[in-house]
A = this chain, B = another copy of it.
Amino acid sequence: VSGAPRLVGDIGEDALLGRIVGRLPPPPEGEVWAGDDAAVLRAVGGDLLFTTDALVEGVDFSWSWCSGGDVGWKAMAVNASDIAAMAGRPRHALATLALPATTPVAVVDAVVDGLVEAADAAGIALVGGDISGARELSLGVALLGSSGPHGVVTRSGNRVGDAICVTGHVGGAAGGLSVLRSGLVPADDVLSGGPAEPAPNPALRRLVARQLRPRARTAEGPLLAALGATSMIDVSDGLLLDLVRLMTAAGHGCRVEPGLVPIDPDLSELSGALVAGGDLVALAVGGGEDFELLFTIDASRVDAARSGLAAHAQVTQIGVVTADGLRFGDEDIERMEGLGWEHLRRR
């Protein structure tokens, strides 16, 4: 027995599948999860919500700064966030894992554990999936949810005069990415408080967690539907880019005040080191991956939204819906450069 790690190519597809299924919870009576041609799920009331999103090695993450567990967690969380942004409840997920035969089995175990951990945190059951060979690892999740008692909140329902609000803070995930890419702090050390001495700065650790272990606003989404949100999107590709999507879905414009954007306090604290003379606001509104909810609501109901969400997240009004023009302070958003994440950049 050598000390070399076992690789997925050594154990083969069916053994790997068996191993993965063994890490999943068992289905309730009357349902079939992994192990057949398709999962069988009892229908629940309401409309169905259906979304999918994938993470690709070298594009969405790098093994130099994250673990298999982080990749699994995030792939599940970003999909849960999409269902939350419809004001729905996420329920059942399938995972598609494409990976090189040279991947250590332990990495696959960690990916699956990360998927299940994030699924548990969001009330989701991982009910199956698919494995395929590939040159680089990618992890896709397809997620099924159901609408809540107050229905879905789409992107297109905003009205001129509505307040534009955002939950929590933005910029933290982008700050965490800067920390990780700097290579100064290995990801494992940061999150575990591992071998680094002295223990990493807590603000730095929180930023890294925002990047690696984002939390979907699964409680807040349905609450905001009950509170009267007229349109909603999650901040995945950058506050301004997602704002433009929200406004153009309704054919409207906006006026947003840069000074009102709730910048992550940890990012502000570390701005000297992370932004290095650059623009903190630009990082916060362009960075993406905060998975906060950006929503519109009648201006008279902002206080109600604020108190209704008080136990979960702060709510900040950053602007107002207008008939046309996309304004961020003095700037025209559509003329700003490097607005947000572009998945198809040439490499």
Given contacts A36-B86, A38-B88, A54-B140, contact A344 B131 (CB under 8 A): yes
For residue A16, give the distance in angstroms from its CB to the closest CB of chain B.
Answer: 7
Across-interface contacts of A43 in B (CB, < 8 A): 43, 45-48
User: Could you show 11 A-B contacts with beta carbons less than 8 Å apart?
Assistant: A38-B83, A40-B49, A48-B48, A50-B128, A52-B96, A54-B96, A96-B142, A101-B345, A131-B343, A132-B138, A142-B142
B36–A155 CB distance below 8 A: yes
For residue A85, give the distance in angstroms from its CB to the closest CB of chain B.
Answer: 4
> Is A335 interfacial (CB 8 A cutoff)?
no
> Is A41 interfacial (CB 8 A cutoff)?
yes
Given contacts A37-B233, A41-B48, A154-B40, contact A102 B346 (CB under 8 A): yes
| Copies per complex of this chain | 2
Given contacts A16-B344, A133-B59, A133-B343, contact A144 B48 (CB under 8 A): yes
Across-interface contacts of A136 in B (CB, < 8 A): 134-136
Identify the stretch in A6-14, A165-173, A193-201, A298-306 within 8 Å (CB) of chain B at 4 or more residues: A6-14
Across-interface contacts of A53 in B (CB, < 8 A): 96, 130
B13–A342 CB distance below 8 A: yes
Across-interface contacts of A48 in B (CB, < 8 A): 40-43, 48, 92, 144
Choice from B147, B152, B233, B347 contacting A101 with Cβ under 8 Å: B347
Across-interface contacts of A113 in B (CB, < 8 A): none
B37–A86 CB distance below 8 A: yes
Other CB < 8 Å A-B pairs besides A38-B49, A38-B85, A40-B48, 8 of them?
A32-B152, A36-B155, A43-B45, A51-B128, A54-B132, A100-B347, A101-B344, A140-B140
B38–A50 CB distance below 8 A: yes
Please encode chain A, from 206 to 242, with 1 for each CB lying within 8 Å of some chain B CB and 0 for all others.
0000000000000000000000000011100000000
Please encode chain A, from 323 to 347, with 1 for each CB lying within 8 Å of some chain B CB and 0 for all others.
0000000000000000000111111
